[in-house]
Structures are given as C-alpha cells and as structure tokens.
Structure 1
Amino acid sequence: MAKKRTPKYVYFFGGKRAEGKADMKALLGGKGANLAEMVNIGLPVPAGFTITTEVCTYYYQHNHSYPKELKKQVLDALKKIEKEMAAQFGNPQNPLLVSVRSGARASMPGMMDTILNLGLNDSTVQGLISKTKNPRFAYDSYRRFVAMYGDVVLGLKPKDKHDHDPFEVILDRKKQQAGVTKDTELNADHLKELVSEYKAEIKRITGHDFPEDPMEQLWGAIGAVFGSWMNERAIVYRKLNNIPESWGTAVNVQSMVFGNMGDDSGTGVAFTRDPATGENVFYGEYLFNAQGEDVVAGIRTPLPIKDLQKDNPQVYKQLVKIRSILEKHYKEMMDIEFTIQQGKLWMLQCRVGKRTGFAAIKMAVDMVKEKLISKEEALLRIEPNQLNQLLRPIFDLNQKRSAIENGRLLAKGLNAGPGAASGKIAFSAQDAEEMASKGEKVILVRIETSPEDIKGMNAAEGILTARGGMTSHAALVARQMGKVCVAGCGALNIDYKNGLMKVEGKDVTIKEGDYISIDGTTGEVILGQLETKPSEVIQVLITKELKPEDSEIFQTYNSLMKWADQYKTLGVRTNADQPDQAANAIAFGAEGIGLCRTEHMFFGGDRILHVREMILSESEEERKNALDKLLPYQRADFEGIFEVMAGKPVTIRTLDPPLHEFLPHEEHEIQQVAEELNMPIDKIKEKIESLKEFNPMLGFRGCRLGISYPEITQMQARAIFEAAANVAQKGIKVKPEIMIPLVGHVNELKLQEKIVRKVAEEVFNEKGIKIPYLLGTMIELPRAAVTADEIATVAEFFSFGTNDLTQTVFGLSRDDAGKFLPKYVEREILPKDPFESLDTTGVGKLVELGTKLGRQTRENLKVGICGEHGGDPDSIDFCHKVGMNYVSCSPFRVPIARLAAARAALVNGSPKTKKSSKKVTKKKK
C-alpha cells in the first residue's frame, strides 16, 4: 500500500533556491510567488518561507485552527532561514528577526496586516545591540515591533479616525519631553523608555503582559495576518475588485533586513515605469535611515528615486539593473520594494504595478514597439473599460482635491456616465435648453428623466438624477450621447416648484442657476464650478481641434484600436438616433447602427404636437392626418442618418414606448395642448386616463401599437423607404434594416411584415428604384427566444434587446430594482447587477437558445445585441462565444466594445486568432 503523501503547506525561498515560482500565485499568493521567482532569477532576497493559501481556507473552515502538519513544516523552514542568514530565531547572542506579511493572489495593497522586527524581546535586543554596535537602532526596531504587534495582534489599533493610537500619544509625549520634533532625533535612551511605556500601555489595556517568547510572537502574528483577510477594509476591497473570498491569503515569514541602521541604510518603493503616465522612466521614492512603513506613512517626506544616483551611485546602478531584469523577465511594469542595509541592497517584494487606464494603454503599446510583448499580449493586458480615461473630459485634479478639502463635496451617486462636467443647474429640460441657447454650460438635475427630457439632456453638459440605476433612462441616453452622468444620488432632495435642491445631512440650499460639478467616473457631486477639458482623443476624432500627428495620446489609442480590429471577429455597431451621434460613432470605429430609436425623433420642434394629435385622434382618418404631418420630419431624419452612414447598415426600430409617455401630465401642459389642438381639456384628460397602465413595460407598446394602429407602421415604413430612395438617388449607398419590437408570437411579426413589405413596393414603384433591405425583430421576450425557429421563418435578422429580456426573465423592473439589487450583489446572491452585465447562466441561456433555433430555420440569420449589455466587456465575451454577428452600444463605448471583441477572440479562439490564442492561453496557464 502506497504511503500517504504529507500535504505541503510551507514553501522555502532564499539564497540560490526557492521551492516556489511565479506561476504558483493561487497557492503562494502574489507576494510569495514573486519572492520565490526573484530568488530563482538571482536577485538578492532575504530568506523566508510562505504558508499557503490552503492554510487560510483551513483556518476559516476549522474555527481558526491549523492543519496538524503545519507546526513541524514551519519549524523546518525556520531552520533553513537560520542557516541561510547565519542567525538563530530567539538566540540572545545572535538573533534572527523576521517580518510576517500577507499575500493574496491578487494584489490588495494596504488592506491586510504586517508585522516587522518580530523576535525581539528584552534578551534578543541585547544580542542585536552587540551584533550591530548600535543601541539606538536596536531600540528603535524594538519599539516599532511592540507598537505594531500591539496594533495588529493584540487589537489596540484605533477603531476609527476619531480614536487616538495609544502608541502615537506616548511617542508624541516623549518627543515633547525630549524637546524634539522628529522620531529620528530621539536617542537610544528615549527609545528604550518608549519600549517600557508601550508594554505598560498594553498591560493596562489588555490586562496581559507583552509576549516575550519569540515562538508565541510568531504564531500570534501568523494568526493575525490570516485574521486580517476578513477585516472590513479587505472585504470592501475584494467586493470593489471582484476578488473571491474563497481565494484566501498566504502568509510570508521573511528574515528582516534593516533600513534604519544609520545613514548608509534606507528603504524605498519604486515602479519600473511611471504608473500615472506610462512613461518609460524609473519612478519611485526612498528614505535613508528608515523602515518600509516610513515611506508610505507620510511621517517623513521621501526623496525621488533619481536622487539616489547622487546619494549612493553604486546602489542606484544596482537598482537600475534590477529594474531592467524584472521588466525583461515579467514583461510588465513592476512595483518593487527594497531595503538598503549598510550599503547592501535587498529586494523585499515585486508585483505587477497598479496604474491609471491611460498608463496601462501607453505601457502596452510601448512594450509592443520595444518588442517586449506581442500585440496579442498587449490587447489582453488592457481592460476595455480603461479606455474611458482616454475618452472622457476631465477635471483638474488639484482643483478638485482642493474643492473636496474645502467641504464642497455634496454627495455621491452612481458613476453612470464617465467623465467630468461643470455647469449651472437647470431643473427642467426646457430651462436647460434655454440656458444652453444663451451659451451657458448646464447640468440638468432631475428626480428622474423621461424621453420627454431628451432635448434638455442633449443641451446639457451633464445629467444628475436622484433616482434610477446604471441602466435607467438617464444613464442609457447619457452614455449614448457621450454625456457625463451621475444617477441614483439619493441624498438629493429636489424641489421643482421652488427651483431648489437640498442635500441630506448638509446645511446647504442650491438654487437653479447655481454651479455644480459632477464626476461621472467617481459619482461625486461637487458644489461650484471646476474647469474641464476634452480628452486629446476627442479633440482629434470629434472636435478636430488637434491633428493626429500632434497628439501622442491619440497615436497610442489609434495603434491599439488598429490591433483590436485585426483580431476581433464580432462586428461593433452603435445605438444612435441622430446624424451627429452616428457621425461620432463612425469616428470611433462603428460599423453600422444596431439600434435607431424612432421615438426619440418625436420630441423635436413641432413634432411632439403632431404626435399628441395622433394619439388624441378618435378615428383612423384623424390619425392618418396627424401622421402625414410627422412623415416629412421622420423622412428627413432618416435621410440625415443614411447620408452619414454611407452604406453601413442602419437598424431602425419602429415605435416602441407606450403612448402615454408622449402625453402631457402637468395641468399647465394639458392646458397648452388643449389650446394648440383646439380640444376640450376634459377630453384630453379622459384620453390620458384611458391610456394609464398598471405595468406599461408589459402593456400597450411595441408591435402591439403597430397591430392596433397599422397606420403608425405604414408612416414609419414610408419615411424609411422614401429616405433610403432619396439618398440612394444621390449616389450614396444605403442599407436599411427594419426591426419590429416586442414580438412574442410569429403571427405578430407576420402582420407587421405585411405592412412593411407593401409600403416598400409602393415606394420603390413611385421612386423607380429598388433598394435591398432586411426585416427582422427584437428578441426581448422569453416566448420569442423559445419560439425563435418559428419567428425566423419571417425575420431575416434577430437583435436581442437584453434590457427588457432581463426584466422579463427575472420578473423585475429595472427602474425599481435599485432598491434591492445592490444588496443582492453585496450578499453575493447575484455576482453582478444583471442590468449592467448580462446574466449568462439565465438570460444568456435564452439568448443562446434563440440564436441556435433561429439559425436552424435560417442558416444565414444575422444575430446581434442592442441592449446596454452590448457595451459591457463580459457580455461581449459571451456574445462572441454564442456566435453573434455583432454587438451594438452607445457611440462613446464603441472603442471599448472593439477592444473587448478582440480580447474575446484571443481568449476563446476564432479563425483569425486560432494560432495566437493557443500561444497566449499556454502562457497564461
């Protein structure tokens, strides 16, 4: 019988060998894996060992206890460190001191706990003095250890910012008594006194003596680091960064090296490139006579890394060489921590460095040009949403920081439309439009927006709402228009009647016309005006203020987009209702329009009056008369879009929203409509009342309107085909695709198809021209998805409307779900908000089924997605997997979708990427 293998929980590293390596992050955490890797590539690393993440899992599953094998493995590894470092743990004459640090597989800087100088007690401190001939250094290390151990292990850390750190209070008192202002000015006697005073404070608060036994100290620290995996800040950080709780953290025990042994010692943190700009320069800070936490704690002002070249040329030269070795080895920008002990350089950590979105893109493109990485690796390295930072207007960071420090931060909402906007408050769409017409910059502030606000939204620099989520009307339209938007800011109390706004918990009243600034990237709402400017990419592509050759940022962006287009197989279209939106989308690389919402065209000029006249009509003849007045407007709109798109496909959705949305609701508005249409007020009120629905989303809308009032579909079809014919006769190619919404049964589509085809023949005969077109439907109801094979007998294309499909599959309203969905995500009932990222296991199964069934009937069926999910990278990955032809998203998300589509092809494979994806996958493993 084979002997049972003992589980390995401890991995040693040091000298010229390590038991781990870089690709063992899941087991050793990022820090442990990279420490091992640095040893393996010959860098100077103090010896140590890593306790695996499996022990963390065991620790939480077994009531904070450890596997029985762990103690012996830790002792064996400790002996290896002692041999490597020529010192002994707990030895009074030649003490080995260690640090105990966390190390999850994903970097969580500062979220968990660390203990330095562990192993010191009243005996070993004498050995350290004897060994270093430096009593001040020894007692400085000892007092730091007692304070850190008291904070982290014994629980004396302040609970919140209002509590005083007991050790800081004692330290400040000691400096005052000594007549000094800096820690470094305290002498050995002062520091020795601090050790005693710290220990006395621990005894006073806890009732127990500070532990003198180094082994007791070690196990206390190991338990504290494992315990810190579940502290509040670590939990919050994991949720924000989608790091699973189940991963756990490793614990790294490493022999101490000291940067506080005098002026020939120091410590520092550096990046192999600038993490803010991406520039290929060595970037970092250091301090002499200091330990690691001094650099980041703000106690002393660190020096820029370039100054080390003057202060210690030999160490600087060695660091520059290590910078080069690490970048060539990892092919990444690395974040490093180092210590200089009496002139000798030691590497304490390396990890892939955090960076801004712009820096990430610049580094990836530069590294391809430097032949450090391939184009495929560059595309996989950049998160698509990081492109937002290249496209959005921005605030001056110093000005914004100053405003917040001066108490001007009013509230925070949902970061629904990235970017920055500053302007005067308008509480109505009409006011926003009027103010903008006078050249004023406006922020439209509404409790919530509706389609009737479209003109005001278009006129505004940004949109702020008290209600609504990430897929609310405000958020959807703002993203399509490229507007900055903060939604669902519940702290706002908006009073339309008096034209003012108050903020819960703040003694401030803001009136219409006052300036506010909103940051749609962070969700912050700031009182007063902050300056903004468009990104250089926008200045090149949209406003034409810059030439491509004059913007390095644009050239970087353009290189990346060209590479993305080489690898993506999924088409990227846009959701656009107006020629200017379509033009913006084409500038961003859109290949067509996947959703043109005709109802948004009904609100301009006199159109809304004719729409209301049509709704209030009592006979088919009256309705047709009203629709005849709308026809020229619709035709002109479509002509403008077809001209801009110049042969690219344009998918036009026939009228979808419930009719009551177009009618007035305020008394003065009803009075105005009655006068304009010469109708009795009572009659208008009666019609409004008759159109009210308990659940409009599932009511009289979509194809149901066209079936009940076929003249609406007739007018829209005529407007489309006449516009197409007129543009085609100018020599411009047109590709109209007519999409019937909310079809649940094939018979509904057959009725609408008959109308469209009949009108098409009439127009083509009248114009003497025949234009190829497609007729299809939106799949946004579960029944449509499960009967897609029947629907495909009529439909020539499908476009999945996943906003409504998500609502109908889950049985919830996206406008009301904000009350409880955040709690579902917080409690991990759902991994993500299903309106932000497609629910692939539920809604996605219907999408996959509908696609499969549709193509069983019509092999060449074109399939796309036009819900907001069309701009979400995870959803795009799913669309690629199920074999869709295209995704459609708002214009300013087109670049994000292009990059996401390329990544999907590289990760999942496609004819273009078959070879490269295998290569990339192999490397990633």
Structure 2
Amino acid sequence: MPKRVYIFGGKKADGTAQMKNLLGGKGANLAEMCQIGIPVPAGFTITTDTCNEYYANKSKMPPGLEKEVNAALKKVEQIMGAKFGDSVNPLLLSVRSGARASMPGMMETVLNVGLSSATIPGMIKKTGNPRFVYDAYRRLIMMYSDVVMEKAAGIDPEEGKGIRVQLDRMLHALKDRKGYKSDADISEADLRALCDSFRAKVKEVLGKNFPDNAREQLWGAIGAVFSSWHGKRAISYRRIEGIPDDWGTAVNVQAMVFGNMGDTSATGVAFTRNPANGDNHFYGEWLVNAQGEDVVAGIRTPNPLNEDTKNDENRHLPSLQTAMPRVYRELDAIRDKLEKHYRDMQDIEFTIQDGRLWMLQCRVGKRTGTAALNMAMDMLAEKLIKNEEAVMRVSPNQLDELLHPIVDPSAEKAATPLAKGLPAGPGGAAGQIVFTANDAVAWAKQGKKVILVREETNPEDVEGMRAAIGILTARGGMTSHAALVARGWGKCCIVGCGALN
C-alpha cells in the first residue's frame, strides 16, 4: 500500500521541497523548512493521491487512512508535548489545503480544531487565558460551520444567507452594541455568550448541532478540504490558470500556534522582496493578538513589518521592527536563509506566540510584471541566479503586463484625488462601478468595462475579479486576498482605500 501520510516537525521531515506533486506546495515546503532548521509547528501531510482515492471511493476516506493518521498524530503529540482531545493538556490542530500550484484562498482552512466542552476547561487552565480560549472557539465555530457543515455538505445558500455571513453579522452587532472597535477588544464574558449564540444559530440554520467531539471535528475538516478541490471557486480558478482537475489537493494537519494570546502574540504575512515593484526590501504586514485569516481577509488594517516600508495608510501604526525587535531580527534572518535556499522571492506566513516565532508557510511569491523584471535583474547581479534563469523568471504574461495602460502622469498631477489606497496591482483602469462579482461577470459579458468595488474581496469573488478590468477595496493591505490574486493576474488593483463607504 502506498504511503499516504508524511510527518514533519522537530527539525525532521519525511518529505522535501522536491515532492510538491505528492505533498502539494505547502506540505513540501513545510517539510523543507523543517529539514533546514527553521521553527515549524509539527504536523503531517495527507498526499494529493489520497485526494484522488477519496473521489474514486465516492467521497469516502480510503480504507487504512485512519490508522496512518492516528499513528502520525501520536508522533505530533510527542513532539509538541500535548494530546489531541485530552481534557488536561489538549493539543489543537489546523487543517489546511495545499495543491501543487498555488491557489490563494481558493480552498479551505479550519483552525482551532479540537476545542470542545471536554477540552475548553483544560485549555483555560493550561493557558490561564479564558478570553483567548473563547476567541479561538468562536473562530472554530465560524470556520467549521461554513466550511464543513455548509459548503462540504453541498448546501448553496442565497446571497447573504450563508452561515458565515449570518455569524459575522452577529459578531458585528455585538461590537456595535457594546462599542468595541475591533475583535481584539471583546471581553471574555461577551465571547463566551457569543459562542453559545453561535451554536444555537448553527442548529437553527443548518439543522444540526455543532460537533462537540475533537475526532469528529478533525475528520470533518479533512473531508471538507478534499471536497473543496471541487468547490465552485477552486474549479473557476483552475479554469483560469489551466490547472488540471486530476492533480488533487493535499491536506496539511498541523499543531496550532496562537497569535491571539495577547499583546506578545501576533500573526503576519511577508514577502522577502516587494511583490509590487521588486524592491529588495523585506515587505509585509502583521497584526497583534490575531489569527492568520485576519491579515489575508483584510478585516483589520494591518501594521507594517518594518520602518522602511511604511505608507500613508499605516504610518501611524507600530512596525514589528519597533514593537518586537528581537522577533523581527529572527524573522529577518529566516528571510535571508529562505531566499538563499530557494533562490527566489518567497511569500511567507508566520505566527508569534508569547514572543516565540513559528513559520507556517513559504512559497514562491506572486508578483507583478514590473517586480518580476526588477527581481530577475537584481538576483542576477547578486549572483543568486544565472542568465538563463533570469530570462525564464519573466513569463510572457508578465512581459505583456509591462505594456498595460497607465494613468497619464501629467493628468495625475493636475487631478484632485477622491481617495487614496495601496497600489496592489499594476497599471491604470477606467470603467463602470459594480458592487458584486455576479454583476461584474454579467456586465463584462455585455461588453462593458467594469471596476469591481468591494468592502474587501473574498475567494467567492474570483469570477468577478477576473471579469473586471480593475479592483478597488475599502479594507485590506498589500497581503490581502484581493492583492494576492490581482498581482498574480497583473490586474489593476487598489486596496485599503479607507475613505470609501
């Protein structure tokens, strides 16, 4: 029987970066980071072949997989010194997708798996931080009900009626009622009551109780990640990018580390060079007392990584360089190590738990055509790559991008801007405004040029983002979902335009 589960952690791994086809990009790079001594929370990867077996087996787990997963989980428990589902010393897990080609935000993630009535008291005792535990639990309910109980169950709600949207509304209503500025301000008592209200709403909308068993949550999440390979937005993105259906996705199950444990914890996304223009500056964004999805979802305005890369939108916010200088120096050293190792610009995700840095992902970063050209020439000068590689680093699409229309600089100087945001994608664009992805697709089919304007984009908007000639969002930074996707497609995009309402 072929090996289906590959373990990583404790500076050892079964896999390597060369095994991308089998382990997916994320799994292969997590293994590689372990091999080169970078701090990565322990976990295991279920292979892309297993995804194809799952579909061949009528969307049921193939026989023997449970035994392999249980054996791998035991090793992860040993490395991390905690036990999954245990009432005294519980281990929590993240369950993430990972195809061999990068598909940002197109498949599913569930965090904080394993929180239940049996493990919550132990987690509170272990951390001495009940507010953090209930914050993690409300996030689990929001993600799991959306990803596992609705999407993976094949439920397709009307616009604005999905469980995640309804729970989000309840969260915003609580913040408005109590005058909380951000999620991080909500009190323990209010979070605890919110978790109860969330569970009741899940039962009311989906007709099922939220699962209160760690193992049931884990297998539900693994199945949902496999199912998301054939989700609507993943299929749309594959058509656009020419990714074959039979590649399948891997599933990465990893010990949770927490950026939402208080003011010495944080989460962030960074690029080893600026992905918009190619400048050799460490570029990224981070949020104190938050979890990873908060940064890419663009829910809060993220802080700049360092003093060099501050802009008008975040100049008033402290950088990681000044707020946590020791952690920043460690992250900067990892940046150098990864770029020398992979010999290309990397897109990285990290979490800081109680002042300790953990790396959660690295992959070759998406970039604009201008950035691709500048990076290729700089890396050639730095002797990181050879002439032949430099030529191949700029794709035909990226060369085409360099010829995209731009706003006339003299007209730009004379104009009075309505509002300012961050330049996430290249060029200039003019068109009619639409407010939904469906309208963008419909209007584009009629031959209209449209600009998609959103509070923030989410992966469900992928068809509309493709159809629009430009994208404008009120929230989000340079590492948000809109920015990542637009850059990959060379599409004009401005994010974080806070003056929009």
- The answer to whether the superposition gives a TM-score over 0.5 is yes
CA shift at 1:524, angstroms? 6.1
How far, CA to CA, are the matches of 2:253 and 2:467 in structure 1? 40
Q: Is the contact between residue 38 and residue 45 of structure 1 (CA under 8 Å) also seen in structure 2?
A: yes
> Is residue 37 of structure 2 the alignment partner of residue 42 of structure 1?
yes
Structure 1 stretches lacking a partner, 5+ long = 1-5, 414-488, 493-502, 506-521, 527-925
Q: Is the contact between residue 412 and residue 525 of structure 1 (CA under 8 Å) also seen in structure 2?
A: no
Structure 2 stretches lacking a partner, 5+ long = 307-318, 409-421, 451-465, 471-501
Which residue of the partner structure matches residue 13 of structure 2?
18
Which residue of the partner structure matches residue 140 of structure 1?
135
Structure-2 change in CA distance of 1:405 and 1:412 (3 Å): closer
Secondary structure of residue in 2 paired with 1:102: strand
Which residue of the partner structure matches residue 190 of structure 1?
190
- Equivalent residue runs for 1:166-565 within 5 Å: 166-306=166-306, 307-395=319-407, 404-405=432-433, 491=446
Q: Is the contact between residue 202 and residue 208 of structure 1 (CA under 8 Å) also seen in structure 2?
A: yes
How far, CA to CA, are the matches of 1:163 and 1:216 in structure 2? 26
How far, CA to CA, are the matches of 1:89 and 1:11 in structure 2? 18
Q: Is the contact between residue 491 and residue 504 of structure 1 (CA under 8 Å) also seen in structure 2?
A: no
- Equivalent residue runs for 1:641-660 within 5 Å: none
> Is residue 63 of structure 2 the alignment partner of residue 61 of structure 1?
no
Which residue of the partner structure matches residue 497 of structure 2?
none
CA shift at 1:195, angstroms? 1.1
1:43 partner amino acid: I
2:161 partner amino acid: D
1:113 to 108, 128, 140: 108
Q: What do the CA deviations read for 1:528-577 (whole angstroms, capped 9, x no partner)?
A: xxxxxxxxxxxxxxxxxxxxxxxxxxxxxxxxxxxxxxxxxxxxxxxxxx
CA shift at 1:270, angstroms? 0.3
CA shift at 1:380, angstroms? 2.3
How far, CA to CA, are the matches of 2:340 and 2:358 in structure 1? 19
Which residue of the partner structure matches residue 72 of structure 1?
67
Secondary structure of residue in 2 paired with 1:251: strand
How far, CA to CA, are the matches of 2:407 and 2:56 in structure 1? 47
CA shift at 1:66, angstroms? 2.1
Secondary structure of residue in 2 paired with 1:154: helix
Secondary structure of residue in 2 paired with 1:66: coil
Structure-2 change in CA distance of 1:364 and 1:263 (3 Å): same
CA shift at 1:239, angstroms? 0.8
How far, CA to CA, are the matches of 2:295 and 2:430 in structure 1? 24
Q: What do the CA deviations read for 1:261-311 (whole angstroms, capped 9, x no partner)?
A: 000000000000001101111011000000001112222110111011100
Structure-2 change in CA distance of 1:406 and 1:64 (3 Å): closer
Range 190-199 or range 166-175, more displaced: 166-175
Q: What do the CA deviations read for 1:819-849 (whole angstroms, capped 9, x no partner)?
A: xxxxxxxxxxxxxxxxxxxxxxxxxxxxxxx
2:350 partner amino acid: F
2:323 partner amino acid: D
How far, CA to CA, are the matches of 2:176 and 2:468 in structure 1? 41
Which residue of the partner structure matches residue 127 of structure 1?
122
Structure-2 change in CA distance of 1:160 and 1:209 (3 Å): closer
1:163 to 161, 164, 168: 161
Q: What do the CA deviations read for 1:56-106 (whole angstroms, capped 9, x no partner)?
A: 101111100122121111000000110000000000110000000000000
Which residue of the partner structure matches residue 89 of structure 2?
94
CA shift at 1:363, angstroms? 0.8
CA shift at 1:160, angstroms? 5.9
CA shift at 1:402, angstroms? 7.9
Secondary structure of residue in 1 paired with 2:150: coil
Q: What do the CA deviations read for 1:107-132 (whole angstroms, capped 9, x no partner)?
A: 00000010000000012111111011
CA shift at 1:161, angstroms? 4.8
How far, CA to CA, are the matches of 2:434 and 2:63 in structure 1? 56
CA shift at 1:315, angstroms? 0.5
Identity of aligned residues (%): 56
1:201 partner amino acid: K
Q: Is the contact between residue 35 and residue 45 of structure 1 (CA under 8 Å) also seen in structure 2?
A: yes
Structure-2 change in CA distance of 1:208 and 1:273 (3 Å): same
Q: What do the CA deviations read for 1:734-760 (whole angstroms, capped 9, x no partner)?
A: xxxxxxxxxxxxxxxxxxxxxxxxxxx
Q: What do the CA deviations read for 1:881-907 (whole angstroms, capped 9, x no partner)?
A: xxxxxxxxxxxxxxxxxxxxxxxxxxx
How far, CA to CA, are the matches of 1:260 and 1:178 in structure 2? 21
How far, CA to CA, are the matches of 2:227 and 2:245 in structure 1? 13
Secondary structure of residue in 1 paired with 2:95: strand
Structure-2 change in CA distance of 1:218 and 1:524 (3 Å): closer
Q: Which has the higher contact order (CA 8 A, sep 6+)?
A: 2
Which residue of the partner structure matches residue 79 of structure 2?
84
Structure-2 change in CA distance of 1:45 and 1:525 (3 Å): closer
Q: Is the contact between residue 257 and residue 339 of structure 1 (CA under 8 Å) also seen in structure 2?
A: yes
2:111 partner amino acid: L
Q: What do the CA deviations read for 1:454-492 (whole angstroms, capped 9, x no partner)?
A: xxxxxxxxxxxxxxxxxxxxxxxxxxxxxxxxxxx8625
How far, CA to CA, are the matches of 2:10 and 2:191 in structure 1? 34
Structure-2 change in CA distance of 1:412 and 1:162 (3 Å): closer
1:49 partner amino acid: F
CA shift at 1:406, angstroms? 7.7
Q: Give the number of the structure whose alpha-carbon radius of gyration is greater.
A: 1
Q: What do the CA deviations read for 1:629-684 (whole angstroms, capped 9, x no partner)?
A: xxxxxxxxxxxxxxxxxxxxxxxxxxxxxxxxxxxxxxxxxxxxxxxxxxxxxxxx
How far, CA to CA, are the matches of 2:449 and 2:338 in structure 1? 51
**Superposition RMSD on alpha carbons, in Å?**
2.6
Secondary structure of residue in 2 paired with 1:385: helix
How many residues align structurally? 420
How far, CA to CA, are the matches of 2:89 and 2:95 in structure 1? 20
CA shift at 1:390, angstroms? 2.3
CA shift at 1:150, angstroms? 0.6
2:27 partner amino acid: G
How far, CA to CA, are the matches of 1:35 and 1:124 in structure 2? 27
How far, CA to CA, are the matches of 1:233 and 1:358 in structure 2? 28
Secondary structure of residue in 1 paired with 2:284: strand
2:378 partner amino acid: D
Secondary structure of residue in 1 paired with 2:264: coil
Q: Is the contact between residue 337 and residue 350 of structure 1 (CA under 8 Å) also seen in structure 2?
A: yes
